Structure 1
Amino acid sequence: MVSTYLLLAWTWTRAAFAYRASFAIMAVLGLVLASADVAVILIVFANTTSLAGFSREEVLFLYGTANLAFTLCDLIAGNLDRISQHIRTGTFDTMLIRPVSTWIQVATDRMNPTRATRVLQAAAALGYALAVLDLDGRRLWMVPVMVVSGTVIFASLWTLAGAAQFVLTDAPEVVNAFTYGSGQLTQYPFSIYGRDLVRGVTYALPLAFVNWQPGLYVLDRDDPFGTPGFMRFLGPVAAVVLVLAAASAWRWGIRRYTSTGS
């Protein structure tokens, strides 16, 4: 399964490299657009010394971990948001008769390797934050765990949103608000949001386990909302639960799918 994914991904990567000028322009443009998020954070801290009790470097740490997970997901599985096009045009019918997982086919279809520059930008922001923050080295093991768990959580949300398209058929804007909106939400400390919203993204839609809860552990900070300490370590659990839910939703969507007849 992994080898098939890598083969299909490499096929589209080679196709993108065939147009080198276009590839370079898109890669640079993606880097510039991604850097705008960091620019916003710097502008905010040009006028204040803290954001909801967090310093600039701490916010960059939370931004870096969340955005690294999000951009990795966007690179690996971002094309799942194109499922509505396949359903509408009938190309999903062809995917069903191939001896390859439909999820892999949709995720790799027209994969855009220029998105890798956004991954590098997020990694750079995280690297800077780790370099300047005085963190307890015994807590840094959590950083790769939260990035991997966050990537899986985002990919699961993308899959759930894709599965919803089997019912909605043509509502990519709704799905994008759900997926890209989640990415934007996790870029800042959750302490800037209302208590009810934070409860929702902790116990209902577990976005708090992307970077907020494990990030509090790495930064050695108390949760201003008073959640129990063990919640800091539940990122992998939330990821596994979401993977199971996403896999079930995808299979359910496949069963509900009716061919366009084209």
Structure 2
Amino acid sequence: MADSLGARTRPYRAVLASRARSQRSYRASFAVDLASSMLVGVIELAEIWVLFHNVVELGGLEFSQILLVFGLADLCFSLADMTFGHCDNLPTYLRAGTLDVFYLRPQPLLLQLVTSDISLRRLARAAVGAVALVVGLTVNDIAWSPAHVLLLLVAIVSGYAMFAGMFVWAGGAQFFLVEGAETTNAFVYGGRYAATQPASVWNRPLWAVFGFFFPMAFTGFLPALWLLGVEAPLGLPDWVGWCAPVAAAWTWVMALVSWRLGVRHYQGGGG
């Protein structure tokens, strides 16, 4: 069984390894990429600091508490962006007609696309989120228990899955939009921004979009509230933070439906 699985995944592992080696072969360029990626993460964290530098709290959360929300959401997004973010290249493949090359290989199209590249420079940005998460867990008075540790792990895995699903959902939509990447970016990257903010200040339309339909509130905000012992907004139950796996499953349902419809809609590059 293990040998069979290893044989099936060997082509994908070989492609990813070659991509990783190619990115590290030019060390100076790779170092610049890492530094620029880290700078983006630091700037986004600085925006949170500037905002809370002018207020004591926002949406019922202080800076130390929102640091935990930011750390959770940003770490999960950065890891998903590193492994699934190159799905953004799909419109280029569609316009150039090069997506048809993927159909010549005896592997699933989505799996080929996901394993066609890996953005190692995103590790630097993930490091910013990881540091913010560790600091947030340290400076806040959390009554640690096995349940708290379990929820933290569940939140990280589920948050990664949600953002990864968003990239796949956007990829499926590109089969119809082609030139409309900005439309899906409003929800993918806009969702990342929303996820790092205190969702308690959102109005009901925003909750409908980024709270439940695209469940970005479950990537950081709602699990963080349970860890901190803070009451959830909108009369939501205290245990709603534990629903992150359900939100991740819903995101992947949307992603796979979008992808399946997109693939069926695609008629080839022509020419």
TM-score by length of structure 1 reads 0.94
Match of 1:195 in 2: 204
Cross-structure match for 2:251: 242
Give the AA of the match of 1:67.
D
Asked if residue 114 in structure 1 is aligned to residue 134 in structure 2, the reply is no
Equivalent-residue separation in structure 1 for 2:67 and 2:259 (angstroms) = 34
Q: Which amino acid aligns with 1:133?
A: N
CA distance in 2, matches of 1:130, 1:229: 19
The answer for the alignment partner of 1:210 in structure 2 is 219
Q: Judge which range, 134-143 or 81-90, deviates more.
A: 134-143
Q: What SS does structure 2 have at the residue aligned with 1:48? A: coil
The offset of 1:150, in angstroms, is: 0.8
Cα distance in structure 2, aligned partners of 1:134 and 1:154: 28
Letter in structure 2 aligned against 1:174: T
Mean CA deviation greater in 132-141 or 62-71: 132-141
* 1:142-173 alpha-carbon deviations (Å, 9 max, x no partner): 11211110111111111111101111122122
Residues of 2 paired with 1:66 and 1:75: CA distance?
Answer: 14
- What is the rounded CA distance, in whole Å, between the counterparts of 1:30 and 1:2 in structure 2? 29
Tell me which of 252, 266, 269 is aligned to 1:257: 266
Q: What pairs up with 1:43-82 in 2 under 5 angstroms?
A: 43-82=50-89
Percent identity, please. Answer: 31
Aligned to 2:168: 159
**Alignment of structure 1 residues 5-24 onto 2, 5 Å:** 5-24=12-31
Instruction: Classify the secondary structure of the residue corresponding to 1:147.
Output: helix
Distance in 2 (alpha carbons) for counterparts of 1:179 and 1:80: 12
Q: 1:35 aligns with which of 39, 42, 48?
A: 42
Match for 1:181 among 159, 181, 190? 190
When structure 1 is superposed on structure 2, of 97-106 and 179-188 the one drifting more is 97-106
Change in CA separation of 1:52 and 1:2 when aligned onto 2, cut-off 3 Å: farther
SS at structure 2 position matched to 1:261: coil
Q: Is the 8 A contact 1:166 1:253 kept in 2?
A: yes
Q: Determine if contact 1:62/1:187 at 8 Å carries over to the other structure.
A: yes
* Aligned length in residues: 262
Change (3 A) 1:230 1:128: closer
Counterpart for residue 151 of structure 2:
142
- TM-superposed CA distance for 1:4, in Å, is 4.5
Check whether the contact 1:81–1:175 (CA below 8 A) recurs between aligned residues.
no
**Contact (CA 8 Å) 2:15, 2:117: kept in 1 or not?**
no
Task: Give the TM-score taking structure 2 as reference length.
Answer: 0.91
Kept in 1: contact 2:98–2:269 (CA 8 A): no
